[in-house]
Structure 1
Amino acid sequence: MSADHGPAVDSTRLRADLTAAGYVVDEVLDRIGTSGQDGLGRNCTVPADVALGDATDPLATLIRVFLLQQPVPAADLRGALDVDALLAAGYLAAEDDRLRATVDLRPYGSPDDGASGWVVADLTPGLDTVVEPTRPDYVLGVSPASTSLAQLTMRTPVTSALDLGTGCGVQSLHLARHAQRVVATDVNPRALELAALSSALSGTGVELRSGSLYEPVAGERFDLIVSNPPFVMSPPGDDEDRLAYRETNFVGDSLVETLVRGAADHLSEGGSLQLLTNWAILEGEPWEERLAGWVPDGCDAWVIERERLDVFAYIEMWLTDAGLGGRPGWRAAYDEWLAYFDGLGITSVGMGWILITRAGRTVPHRRFESWPHAVAQPVGGVFARHAAAVDASRLPTAALLAARPRLVDVEQETLGDPGAADPRYVVFRQRAGLLRAIKADTALAAVLGALDGDLTLGQVLAAVAQVLEVDGPELAAQVLPEVREALLDQLLVID
């Protein structure tokens, strides 16, 4: 951890106190129950408060002060924490004989990869319907967006990883489990302060640096770069009025463009950039072509649009996020945003996932698609296997026929008319990952169904041609493109 961004309190003492009080994920969940946890997910503290009842033990007190944002008797909290140190650091504030938290300090545990520790951020906005304007240097805690990024991040062991725009530092908790070295950056000094405490409490040893985009890591390369950057495309304004966790002074989506264009200069050979972000849809310009123009030479790209919002829904979402709902400035801000989008020609906004890999292929693989359908999280493994899937789908025909593909985690559905002797078609559907499916005719279904990794594809094609009494080369010409697609989509793999 950089000496400039060390925690403002004795993290060893604080971690010991939190642990001694049982302020860890499992014990907190046991104490507030499913209803309490679900309530906090809805920004409502009542179910958890009811579960705690009149309890004043250390765990109940820590839950009240940090998760429920309630003032607690100073005497109760002094029995659990070094109150004076937290007051001096500004993480607690005194109100007569009671204390309240000025930060959200909560235990963290991911069932996906086992990342655990504590995350420190600013207080949860909108708790119990109390909505206030958000401070410009607000540090967002664990959110649906940060959870989604963690779930789509590849967890392949790497030498170095960059958490660009670290915020509260939650991505670094995950990266530290599979990266030998983690560098985390942010332009917001308060984010670096709170991320330093998150890292120190969780024992991740993250190196924190101050600066924008790639500036803090100029001349360095990483095996993996992850970011949920401040991508909100808001109208220009004064820096002191901007919300640092979501907005910048970049025009439109040019911040995202800058990250993508600069990726190759900061990735090791075979390294990848993964973004959870959004991009502008411009009138009269296919978004796929526009984003393809950002991808550096020699890099593969896979961009998945998960959702698209019209400008009205997009603006309303972020005005509400800023705490402007029901306030006098709502309509003026709305109109300003509409005019800004109109001037840029933005008709809607795409939101989704970007993977850029410095693959070094002579002919890079570029894929741009809309996939708004349900997926089975975590999907990080899908991205981790993507390069191999591309290789397999591009095998020369002779090599492909000699390979032994097999179906992976796929279920077969037979669909047809009641009473009919034969099905109309067969569907092969993934049970994990992106949950893709292949609608297969008789020939393709026979080939896919026989691919179990024992026989070569050539042997299976010959056998199916014989059974169906069709010409072998014609069957191969019909089926091979579908097999290549199934390899790319990871319904089939070659070991």
Structure 2
Amino acid sequence: MLDTGYTINGVRERLGGVAAIALAREETVPALRATRDGDPLGTLIRLWWLGVPVRAPGWLPVAELAASGLVTAEGDLITSAVHLQPWETGGYLVSDRKVRPGDPALRTDHVVGAGGASANLAQLVSRRPVESALDLGTGCGVQVLHLAGRAGRIVATDVNPRALELARLSWALSGIDGVEAREGSLFDPVAGERFDLIVANPPFVISPRGRFAYRESGFEADGFCRDLLRLAPRALSPGGTCQLLANWLHVGGEDWRDRVGGWLTGTGCDGWAVQRDVQDPAEYVELWLRDAAEQGTPRYRELYDDWLGWFESMDVTGIGFGWISLHDSGSLDPVVRVEEFAQRVELPVGEYVDEVLAAVAATHRLTDDELLGARLTVAGGVVEERVGPPGAEDPARIVLRQTRGLRRSARVGTVEAALAGVCDGDFPLDPLLAAIAELTGENLADLRAKAPGALRPLLAEGFFHISTG
């Protein structure tokens, strides 16, 4: 298939922007027009990506594909029995065919292909090599494609036996062998085992009942993600990391940060949760009814009303989506951080996520005296913005902004801004504060008392680093 150009880039170039955007709206006509020449690449896109019958070309091993269950043949026409998509790693993923409006209803054991959530998790996961990795809820096997090459041993689990069947095909087509595939829920298939890295794109959709195994667990509300996090430490090796995607409820009278933070507290691990998006209940229901191609069906209004009523019974005001990471640091004083990012971040996060987790934990455990004695440096890519009337002696607002990584911004005072201008790792913080006090006339004792509290968040958020040189 590589010889035909059936790769991620090959498909993108062939379809073009208009057809790709139309497919996102479930409109196939532009893509069919772009692939109507009957050449090898166009034929494979129609067969595997668009799921339409094609005339069997002589260069395609139809009998072998039919025997593997990948296509069905009738006369000189062949139809894909699965969705076979190239992936960004250079491999291929096998899943059930994408269901579009007007298609038959999803089977309950439907295996979804890789999409935005799969890509989000792959971008989040740490890039450090590990001896052992667990892909919990592997689905079509996409995360294994990313783990291969940096994990010595990989175990992949799923509650759906059909998912494991198609995942094995994905791995075989991608040249990956040795993956241990096991059936079961949560950590039951790996009871008693420990892993350096656990990744999960779990069935996080929050619905009244679990109708589809690929997205819904059947647990009450958002309880599946909560229980996954509480059980994960038992399967982590010392120093191990668990990273997953999750949905959580926003409930009237409750701060969602307390809800998610409560999941992390008590695990014995350092925890970091980031909300990347939040939807109102109606928007959320519409998204997942469209996902199952149920929009426009006779049951649509009934399902919509039932789902909304269920949310209302729990006083749900919104549903959050985001990342969660656990790190078994071995500390008796684990730290939990819960925050929200609306901004675009530098990808892949996995290139620097270990540094983010380490900064949050180290800053939490640093005493005031240790901080005053530390040599600080300003992180690369941090810029300063000053806002105020033209010609004013003092700015109305000073902001430190990261142009790399998580691209956070922080409003700071003149002392923190002054330190950002002089912290190069050569001198400890305390003598720098003394120099600032002498220049500004501020009381040194007050600066020493206030500096740790002002700088600690900036260290935790990566604006400053502690120099080890």
TM-score normalised by L of structure 2: 0.91
Alignment CA distance shift 1:463-1:46 (3 Å):
farther
For residues 409 and 41 of structure 2, the distance between their equivalents in structure 1, rounded to whole angstroms, comes to 48
Counterpart of 1:116, as a letter, is G
Q: Give 3-state SS (helix, strand or coil) of 1:460's partner.
A: helix
Counterpart of 1:144, as a letter, is G
Alignment CA distance shift 1:449-1:268 (3 Å):
same
Deviations 1:349-383 (A, max 9, x none): 22222122222222210122233343333222443
Q: Give 3-state SS (helix, strand or coil) of 2:152's partner.
A: strand
Q: How does 1:213-224 map to 2 (within 5 A)?
A: 213-224=186-197
Alignment CA distance shift 1:414-1:284 (3 Å):
closer
For residues 157 and 78 of structure 2, the distance between their equivalents in structure 1, rounded to whole angstroms, comes to 32
Is structure 2 residue 157 aligned with structure 1 residue 178?
Answer: no
Alignment CA distance shift 1:34-1:324 (3 Å):
closer
Is structure 2 residue 277 aligned with structure 1 residue 307?
Answer: yes
* Structure 1 alignment gaps of length 5 or more: 1-17, 110-114
Is structure 2 residue 76 aligned with structure 1 residue 97?
Answer: yes
Once superposed, what is the RMSD of the aligned Cα atoms?
A: 2.3
Which is further off, 321-330 or 306-315? 306-315
For residues 9 and 341 of structure 2, the distance between their equivalents in structure 1, rounded to whole angstroms, comes to 35
Alignment CA distance shift 1:461-1:381 (3 Å):
farther
> Shift in Å at residue 261 of structure 1?
1.0
Alignment CA distance shift 1:490-1:381 (3 Å):
farther
Contact 1:305/1:350 (8 A) holds in 2: yes
Contact 1:29/1:37 (8 A) holds in 2: yes
2:416 to 441, 444, 464: 444
Counterpart of 2:62, as a letter, is V
For residues 397 and 89 of structure 1, the distance between their equivalents in structure 2, rounded to whole angstroms, comes to 64
Contact 2:335/2:361 (8 A) holds in 1: no
Match of 2:99 in 1: 125
Is structure 2 residue 6 aligned with structure 1 residue 23?
Answer: yes
Match of 2:113 in 1: 141
Match of 1:112 in 2: none
Residues matched between the structures, number? 463
For residues 336 and 290 of structure 1, the distance between their equivalents in structure 2, rounded to whole angstroms, comes to 25
1:356 to 320, 323, 326: 326
> Shift in Å at residue 420 of structure 1?
2.5
Match of 1:399 in 2: 370
Contact 2:35/2:43 (8 A) holds in 1: no
Alignment CA distance shift 1:376-1:125 (3 Å):
farther
For residues 203 and 460 of structure 1, the distance between their equivalents in structure 2, rounded to whole angstroms, comes to 57
Which is further off, 293-302 or 195-204? 293-302
Match of 1:290 in 2: 259
> Shift in Å at residue 134 of structure 1?
2.1
1:268 to 227, 234, 237: 237
Q: Give 3-state SS (helix, strand or coil) of 1:490's partner.
A: coil
> Shift in Å at residue 173 of structure 1?
1.0
Counterpart of 1:476, as a letter, is R
Match of 1:233 in 2: 206
> Shift in Å at residue 167 of structure 1?
0.8
Q: How does 1:454-465 map to 2 (within 5 A)?
A: 454-465=426-437
For residues 234 and 43 of structure 1, the distance between their equivalents in structure 2, rounded to whole angstroms, comes to 24
Deviations 1:268-308 (A, max 9, x none): 11212212111223343433333333333422222222222
Contact 2:140/2:163 (8 A) holds in 1: yes
For residues 297 and 59 of structure 1, the distance between their equivalents in structure 2, rounded to whole angstroms, comes to 50
> Shift in Å at residue 345 of structure 1?
4.6
> Shift in Å at residue 334 of structure 1?
2.2
2:181 to 208, 215, 233: 208
Q: Give 3-state SS (helix, strand or coil) of 2:375's partner.
A: coil
Contact 1:252/1:344 (8 A) holds in 2: no
> Shift in Å at residue 159 of structure 1?
1.3
Q: Give 3-state SS (helix, strand or coil) of 2:277's partner.
A: strand
For residues 383 and 210 of structure 1, the distance between their equivalents in structure 2, rounded to whole angstroms, comes to 30
For residues 332 and 34 of structure 1, the distance between their equivalents in structure 2, rounded to whole angstroms, comes to 36
> Shift in Å at residue 335 of structure 1?
2.6
> Shift in Å at residue 92 of structure 1?
0.7
For residues 312 and 18 of structure 2, the distance between their equivalents in structure 1, rounded to whole angstroms, comes to 44
Deviations 1:302-329 (A, max 9, x none): 2222222332222222222222111121
Q: Give 3-state SS (helix, strand or coil) of 2:372's partner.
A: helix
Deviations 1:125-161 (A, max 9, x none): 32xx655532222211121111111111121221111
Counterpart of 2:425, as a letter, is G
Alignment CA distance shift 1:382-1:42 (3 Å):
farther
Is structure 2 residue 92 aligned with structure 1 residue 107?
Answer: no
For residues 150 and 388 of structure 1, the distance between their equivalents in structure 2, rounded to whole angstroms, comes to 20
For residues 293 and 104 of structure 1, the distance between their equivalents in structure 2, rounded to whole angstroms, comes to 39
Match of 2:62 in 1: 83
Contact 1:104/1:124 (8 A) holds in 2: yes
For residues 452 and 212 of structure 2, the distance between their equivalents in structure 1, rounded to whole angstroms, comes to 51
> Shift in Å at residue 176 of structure 1?
1.6
Overall identity of the aligned pairs, in %: 46
Q: Give 3-state SS (helix, strand or coil) of 1:84's partner.
A: helix
Contact 1:411/1:430 (8 A) holds in 2: yes
Match of 2:350 in 1: 380
For residues 60 and 445 of structure 1, the distance between their equivalents in structure 2, rounded to whole angstroms, comes to 57
Alignment CA distance shift 1:85-1:178 (3 Å):
same
> Shift in Å at residue 37 of structure 1?
4.2
Match of 1:10 in 2: none
Alignment CA distance shift 1:327-1:159 (3 Å):
same
Contact 1:379/1:433 (8 A) holds in 2: yes
Match of 2:425 in 1: 453
Alignment CA distance shift 1:274-1:97 (3 Å):
same
